[in-house]
Homo-oligomer: A and B are copies of this chain.
Amino acid sequence: MELDEGKQKFIQSWGTLGSNWGINRTMAQIHALLLICPEALSAMEIKEQLNISMGNTNMNIRSLIDWGLVYKKLKPGERKEFFVAEKDMWEVVKKIVIQRKKRELEPVIKMLDEISAVQGHCEESDEFCKVVKDIKLFSNKADSILDKLIKADSNWFMKSFINLIK
């Protein structure tokens, strides 16, 4: 297989994967491009390689920086900004977990706390409270596991998990 064909396949698939993970297609494609690039790229180079508009390029580079998946890199003597991707896969997963936990798990836990104030006087409210209690327990457990994963360093996690699954 030719390098260019491989690059295209990789960028397209990473885009599809991303859009299933709350990362929009272009955002994931930019990340893919930077991942496989040995050099930092400028916004213009990214725009041209992916054939997308300036606005789209800029917006999605900013989102990637917000998520912590891409870093700005200034080259001495150059005025424009260059960008590099976070290449450690465990770091990438961690950054995504941090964002999604904040955006999804935390609001759910808040909602569950609110609705567990429902008073139970009938079969329907008993069932409701039971389900809410179950989900709360599960979510809190997930929250604490994710916190620990995020804080644990790459090696600790890998070693323990590998031991666990062997």
Contact = CB atoms under 8 A, between A and B. Distances in A.
Interface of A: 1-3, 6-7, 9-10, 13, 17, 20, 22, 35-38, 87, 89-90, 93, 100, 103-104, 107-108, 111, 114-115, 117-119, 123-128, 131-132, 134-135, 138, 141, 144-145, 148, 158, 160-162, 164-165
Contacts of A1: 114-115, 117-119
| Number of copies of chain A assembled together | 2
Given A36-B128, A104-B20, A127-B37, A6 B118 contact: yes
A89 B141 CA distance: 12
A131 B36 contact: yes
A161 B135 contact: no
Q: Which of A89, A108, A148 counts the most B-chain CB atoms under 10 A from its CB?
A: A89
B145 A161 contact: yes
A13 B118 contact: no
Contacts of A6: 115, 117-118, 128, 132
Contact of A10 (B17, B87, B132): B132
